[in-house]
Amino acid sequence: MRSPPDTMFDAGGALIVGAGLAGLFTALKMAPAPCAVLSPDPLGAGASSAWAQGGVAAAIGVGDSAEAHARDTVAAGAGGVDPDVALAVAREAAARIDDLLEYGAPFDRDAEGRLAQSREAAHSFARIVRVKGDGAGAAIMAALIAAARAAPSITVVEGVRAGDLLVEDGRVAGVMAARSDDPYGEPLVFRARATVLATGGVGGLYAVTTNPPSVRGAGLGMAARAGALISDPEFVQFHPTGLAVATDPAPLASEALRGEGATLIDATGARFMPAIHPDAELAPRDVVARAIHARVSRGEPVFLDARQAVGARFPERFPTIAAHCRAAGIDPAREPIPVAPAQHYHMGGVRTDARGRSSLPGLWVCGETARTGLHGANRLASNSLLEALAFGARIAGDLQGIEPTAAPRRTPRPAPLPSRDAAAVDIAAETAALRRTMSDLVGVERDAEGLTEALRRIAAFERAAAPRSRDCLNMAAAATLIAAAALRREESRGGHWRRDFPDTGAGPASTDITLAEALAIRDAAETDTR
């Protein structure tokens, strides 16, 4: 482990930006090849992976198959999944579970010693490998952190937040960064022969999210600003059952609860999902989220009722959710849990190929920052951790074959930022306003009027806050991509639902966009007088 360097650091091999599951797993699979991992926080803090409740989807049960898993993935993705990617990843799942077991992941087992598996929405089999019901993310991260600390090939640099990709002669050669506790201090330069972005998703761009608020599109923004091709940023998944309590972030009531038989009810105690979809509470997430959103937006509360399905076993079966409920004054064994949709996952991201390579030479992308073709317009539950594992292993294998090249020695300097006592802009207030805009206007349901207004507000945020913060500049870029692509897609598909274009099938299942194209859409929105 290292503290941030004085000014410049040569990774000596690969530089992995981000220390969640995708970043750490990539680093571990690279061994014994050297790499450096940058983390803005101490390991284990601030990573969305540690908050994952469900587990890892893997077709390893009796009667299940990779082909069935791939079919479920394609069906959930609303036409946007690459079927070859889905099948290949499903076939790799068993090997990746073996990797995690080797690193010490304490997966649940049944009475015969086999890995226990639960069922989640839109899966045709119980295939979610889990830890203590709802603790998979934290347990897997703890195991990977311990393994990374013990690995001599991995150098972890904590307390550093990347802000820009370093591009020289058309190739990504590392990142420009700053100390997390001193963003206006001396810039830090991290050079590398290969750079891997694994910085997580965009949850912190939304006011209501199940993700750490600090995870707010940094990797997406950095890559887009450097010219990387972005795919499907409009496809944002909203988890149907965030706890409807006044906390930031919103605690999550795992889909595994509905897999165990918990039902969604209205204030009268009546179920409503059977009339909406044949799979009722286990319908695809976008269907369930919209059904709940329709009621909540009318002022009608919705509840998740686990009293009969789980009852007194709740604290033992789902200890994480039980703790969140207790903190909110709810006894889930005796009373229904108030729920509402919350931003949960970003299916779009930096476009990558089957090896995790982006459109920029020298840049690989992994985890939620990437768009690999696995998720389409609506991610199948618990495929996110699997994707991070599968592509982390692929990237590690690809990097083994990269010929070492001497890193350029000149030291670049980024555009200067104002000093910490510069003319005041309340960045916290500006950020809160941006997050509210994204939840209100680029949320579960969208329309042209709201998206146009959102783009205007994002532009105003960029003018006010971005000149004083590279973090804000990346946030503005990521938010612009999401809202501009959503305005451009005049249909509804998966996690992207347009009130003014409710039909699916009018547009291509997947599209690419650059930041320059998104900014042109934003510029047009600013001049729109409707």
Instruction: Please state the rounded mean pLDDT for residues 325-346.
Output: 95
Residue 295 CA to residue 284 CA, distance in Å, equals 18
Among the listed residues 244, 248, 259, 251, the one whose alpha carbon sits nearest the alpha carbon of residue 321: 251
108: phi then psi, degrees, rounded to nearest 5: -65, 145
Given this model, what pLDDT does residue 406 score? 45
Q: What is the mean pLDDT of the chain?
A: 91
Cα–chain center distance at 359: 20
Residue 415 has pLDDT above 60, yes or no: no
Is residue 263 in some structural domain?
A: yes
Residue with tokens 């390893």: 60
CB of 202 within 8 A of CB of 220?
Answer: yes
Instruction: Specify whether the backbone of 261 is left (phi greater than 0), alpha (psi in -120 to 50) or beta.
Output: left
Contact of 292 with 240, CB cutoff 8 Å: yes
Element of type H or E holding 238:
strand 236-243
- What is the structure's pLDDT at 420? 54
Q: Any bridge partners for residue 213, and if so which?
A: none
Residue 250 predicted with pLDDT over 70: yes
Does residue 412 have a pLDDT over 70?
A: no
Side chain identity, residue 248: D
pLDDT in tens, 495-504: 999 999 999 8
Does residue 517 sit within a domain?
yes
Mean pLDDT of 59-88: 96
Structure confidence at residue 410 (pLDDT): 43
Whether residue 2 has pLDDT greater than 80: no
pLDDT-derived band at 405 (thresholds 50, 70, 90) equals: very low
Q: Where are the beta strands (DSSP E) in 136-235?
A: 154-158, 160-168, 171-179, 188-191, 194-197, 230-231
Residues 413-438 have a mean pLDDT of: 74
Share of the chain above pLDDT 70, in %: 92
CB 395 within 8 A of CB 364: yes
Residue 370 has pLDDT above 60, yes or no: yes
Say if 40 falls within a structural domain.
no
516 occurs within a structural domain: yes
pLDDT for residue 297: 93
What's the CATH code of the domain at 450? 1.20.58.100
Mean pLDDT of 215-242: 96
Helices then strands (H, E): number in the chain? 14, 20
How far is it, in rounded angstroms, from Cα 10 to Cα 316?
47
362: left (phi over 0), alpha (psi -120 to 50) or beta: left
pLDDT of res. 136 = 81
Comparing 99-113, 391-405, 493-507, the range with the smallest average pLDDT is: 391-405
Residues 85 and 353 sit within 8 Å (Cβ to Cβ): no
pLDDT > 50? residue 219: yes
- CB 96, CB 50: distance < 8 Å: no
Q: Which of 43-52, 105-114, 215-224 has the lowest mean pLDDT?
A: 43-52
Per the structure block, which two tokens stand in for 209?
Answer: 């999210």
Does residue 411 sit within a domain? no
Domain boundary, last residue among 306, 341, 376: 341
Residue 377 in this model has a pLDDT that exceeds 50:
yes
- Average pLDDT on 22-38 reads 95
Among 34-38, 140-144, 255-259, 356-360, the least confident range: 255-259
Please state the rounded mean pLDDT for residues 27-44. 91
Catalytic residue IDs: 285
Token pair 């998740």 is found at 304
> What's the rounded mean pLDDT across residues 298-309?
96
Which residues face 129 on adjacent strands?
Answer: 56, 117
pLDDT digits (tens, 9 = 90+) for 435-471: 999 999 999 999 999 999 999 999 999 999 988 889 9
Side chain identity, residue 67: E
What is the identity of the amino acid at 463? R
CA 348/CA 370 separation, integer angstroms = 7
Query: d(Cα 93, Cα 383) in Å, to the nearest integer?
Result: 10
Q: Out of 7-11, 27-31, 453-457, 516-520, which region has the weakest mean confidence (pLDDT)?
A: 7-11
Would the pTM count as exceeding 0.75? Answer: yes
Name the residue type at position 189. V
Pairing label, strands 263-265, 302-305: antiparallel
> Is there a domain that residue 482 lies in?
yes
- The better pLDDT of the pair 289, 132 is held by 289
Query: Maximum CA pair distance of the chain?
Result: 69
pLDDT of 413 > 60? The answer is no
* CATH number reported for the structural domain that contains residue 320 in this entry: 3.90.700.10
Q: Is residue 125 part of a domain?
A: no
Q: What is the pLDDT, as a whole number, of residue 408?
A: 41
Q: Which domain holds residue 286?
A: 240-341
* DSSP for residue 454: H
Q: How far is CA 134 from the centre of its chain?
A: 18
Burial of 491 (0-12, 13-18, 19+ CB in 10 A): middle
Cis amide prior to 32 (ω within 30 degrees): yes
Q: Is the pLDDT of residue 425 over 90?
A: no
For the segment 133-149, what is each residue's pLDDT rounded down to a tens digit? 777 888 999 999 999 99
Q: How many domains does the chain have?
A: 2
143: which 2 tokens? 């195991």
Per-residue model confidence (pLDDT) at position 284: 83
Confidence of residue 161 (pLDDT cuts 50, 70, 90): very high
For residues 356 and 286, the model is more confident at: 356
Please tell me the predicted confidence (pLDDT) of residue 416.
53
Structure confidence at residue 185 (pLDDT): 77
User: Which of 341, 370, 387 is where one domain is finished?
Assistant: 341
For tokens 């503005």, what's the residue? 476
A 10 A CB-CB count for 393 gives 21
Is the residue at 75 inside a domain? no
**Left, alpha or beta for 240 (phi > 0: left; psi -120 to 50: alpha)?**
alpha
> Based on the number of CB atoms within 10 Å of its own CB, is 80 exposed (0-12), middle (13-18) or buried (19 or more)?
buried
Phi and psi based region of residue 17 (left: phi greater than 0; alpha: psi -120 to 50; beta: remaining): beta
Q: What is the pLDDT of residue 14?
A: 94
Domain boundary among 290, 318, 341: 341
Structural contact between residues 236 and 209, judged by C-beta atoms closer than 8 angstroms: no
pLDDT at 403: 58
